[in-house]
Structure 1
Amino acid sequence: MKNIDIIADGLRFPEGPAFTSDGTLWCVEQEGASLFWLKPDGTSGRVHVGIGSRPNGLYIDDRDRIWFCDSGLHAIRCINYPDQEPETIVDQINDEPLNWPNDLTFDPEGNLIFTCPGSPDEDEPGFVGVCSPVGEVKKISEKLFYPNGLAFLPNGRTLLVAETHRKRIWAGRWDADGLNWINPTVWAETGAGGFGPDGLTLGPDNLLYAAIYGGSCLQVYKPTGVLSHSIQLPGKNPSNCAFDPTGKLGLVVTETEKGQLLCVKGYS
């Protein structure tokens, strides 16, 4: 096992790690209705986001706005500053409420892409949606069984979506102007271990890192979809991962079985 340190403990189902420009690490606590933060000096705290909230995937944009999926309130929400109330950005598509939104990302044109898998206890197709900067909202896929993590390949035009319940990752060309996911095909099968791929992130080495929920590992893929290697973890349920842009923490992983934030050094 690689050099792995625990940098935060006692978290209530952490997910979605990301960094603001001042080096603060953020993640959600899905079962704590909170966003947890950890500053470079070691101080930490929480921002509570409301009764009934179940925050899930998290994304921080280049203006340090904190975007998160809220499966409890069936909405995509955003905080401009931690001391402000979250704003609801999207909560329906064509009068249909969002179905347990799970994860989100942005393309270079500012389109917000998000997954709505539905309940984890049901084996029915969920959907992937998009919201443009001018507020156009539409579905781009309705065929995946528990669509989950999202990432772009290094070319910035190939969108990857994890399909947890079928243990595979899909890739398709992303049309940012027409808001279409074109010709998605299976890019990688993640194998028999665990429940399947959860969060995805592209590393500075241009490899794709997939958290295998229930599998005690991250699987690392080449841009072609070929498995490069795996990183074994001390907890059974890694939910997502992200890279510290300063390099200090290396690869950060949220792990839900033990409620921990982990940092992995020497990840490649």
Structure 2
Amino acid sequence: MKNRDVIVTGLQFPEGPAFTSDGTLWCVEQEGASLFWLKPDGTSGRVHVGIGSRPNGLHIDDRDRLWFCDSGLHAIRCINYPGQEPETIVDHMADEPLNWPNDLIFDPEGNLIFTCPGSPDDDEPGSVCVCSPVGEVKKISEKLFYPNGLAFLPNGRTLLVAETHRKRIWAGRWDAVGLNWINPTVWAETGPDGFGPDGLTLGPDNLLYAAIYGGSCLQVYKPTGVLSHTIELPGENPTNCAFDPTGRLGLVVTESEKGQVIRIEM
């Protein structure tokens, strides 16, 4: 069994772990209106992002800008850290405010893809959306029930989307020019345990790691969608995971039941 160590405690519903180029681990606190950081030297702190904010998924780009979904303010926001206030990048689709944006990812061409599942208490289809580098915003799917985490397969052209309320992961070809998700089909069923898949991460081993919210585990899949193995976790509600690109922390998992970040030695 791989070693598991709790490296952060006391967080208010953590999600979206990610790393800046200096090795700092970041995550959002949904119920703390903050982005939390932990530096390699062990120092830590928070960046508060505003009253009414409910930050969710987090992505750090190659310029160390922090992009996050803000379901409380119904927006995609970005921080040029340090020293700047969050900038709102997208907050409407046509004349409608974003419907509780949840998670986000960039494709290699710079298109920002994000999920808008709506309220977790509703059982109505949400949407998957894209914003191009020139600001074109459109929906690419409106049929998934609580679309959540996002990832690309190793080929960089197959987009995966977690559908939490139906306990499955979809895959379809991503057209980065036409901004279309082509022929999405069910790629994996995550089984009866928990509420369903939350965050998704492609590992350096080219396996897909899915946090199973309510299932106390990560499920690890081959690129074909076949389950490889399961990593059991000490908390019931893992929300997302990420690999430390330096290898120092291995795989880190945010867990909301106990408000922790867990390190798994790989």
Same fold, TM-score > 0.5, yes or no? yes
> 1:93-145: per-residue Cα shift (whole Å, max 9, x none)?
11111000000000000000000000000000000000000000000000000
The aligned residue for residue 246 of structure 1 is 246
Aligned length: 266
The aligned residue for residue 112 of structure 1 is 112
Aligned counterparts of 1:85 and 1:7: Cα–Cα separation in 2: 28
Confirm or deny that 1:169 pairs with 2:179: no
Correspondence 1:221-232 to 2 at 5 A: 221-232=221-232
The aligned residue for residue 140 of structure 2 is 140
Instruction: Name the SS of the counterpart of 2:154 in structure 1.
Output: coil
Residue 83 of structure 1 deviates from its aligned partner by: 2.0
The aligned residue for residue 94 of structure 1 is 94
In structure 1, what residue type is equivalent to 2:22?
Answer: D
Aligned counterparts of 2:191 and 2:2: Cα–Cα separation in 1: 22
The aligned residue for residue 154 of structure 2 is 154
Residue 82 of structure 1 deviates from its aligned partner by: 3.0
The aligned residue for residue 32 of structure 1 is 32
Contact 1:47 1:82 in 2 (8 A): no
In structure 2, what residue type is equivalent to 1:98?
Answer: L
Instruction: Name the SS of the counterpart of 2:46 in structure 1.
Output: strand
Confirm or deny that 1:22 pairs with 2:40: no
Confirm or deny that 1:85 pairs with 2:85: yes
Residue 81 of structure 1 deviates from its aligned partner by: 1.4
Aligned counterparts of 2:50 and 2:34: Cα–Cα separation in 1: 8
Residue 190 of structure 1 deviates from its aligned partner by: 0.1
TM-score by length of 1: 0.99
In structure 2, what residue type is equivalent to 1:23?
Answer: G
> 1:211-252: per-residue Cα shift (whole Å, max 9, x none)?
000000000000000000000000000000000000010000
Aligned counterparts of 2:69 and 2:199: Cα–Cα separation in 1: 13
Residue 208 of structure 1 deviates from its aligned partner by: 0.1
In structure 1, what residue type is equivalent to 2:81?
Answer: Y
Identity %: 89
Aligned counterparts of 2:252 and 2:235: Cα–Cα separation in 1: 14
TM-score by length of 2: 0.99
Aligned counterparts of 2:110 and 2:87: Cα–Cα separation in 1: 18
Instruction: Name the SS of the counterpart of 2:41 in structure 1.
Output: coil
> 1:55-100: per-residue Cα shift (whole Å, max 9, x none)?
0000000000000000000000000113210000000111111000
In structure 2, what residue type is equivalent to 1:96?
Answer: E
Q: Segments of 4+ in structure 1 off by > 3 A?
A: none
Confirm or deny that 1:186 pairs with 2:192: no
The aligned residue for residue 63 of structure 1 is 63
In structure 2, what residue type is equivalent to 1:91?
Answer: D
User: What residue ranges of structure 1 are gaps of 5+ in the alignment?
Assistant: none
In structure 2, what residue type is equivalent to 1:114?
Answer: F
> 1:140-198: per-residue Cα shift (whole Å, max 9, x none)?
00000000000000000000000000000000000000000000000000000000000
Aligned counterparts of 1:110 and 1:7: Cα–Cα separation in 2: 33
User: What residue ranges of structure 2 are gaps of 5+ in the alignment?
Assistant: none
Aligned counterparts of 2:22 and 2:141: Cα–Cα separation in 1: 36
Aligned counterparts of 2:122 and 2:133: Cα–Cα separation in 1: 32
The aligned residue for residue 42 of structure 2 is 42
In structure 2, what residue type is equivalent to 1:64?
Answer: D
In structure 1, what residue type is equivalent to 2:157?
Answer: R
Aligned counterparts of 1:164 and 1:175: Cα–Cα separation in 2: 24
Correspondence 1:197-212 to 2 at 5 A: 197-212=197-212
Residue 2 of structure 1 deviates from its aligned partner by: 2.5
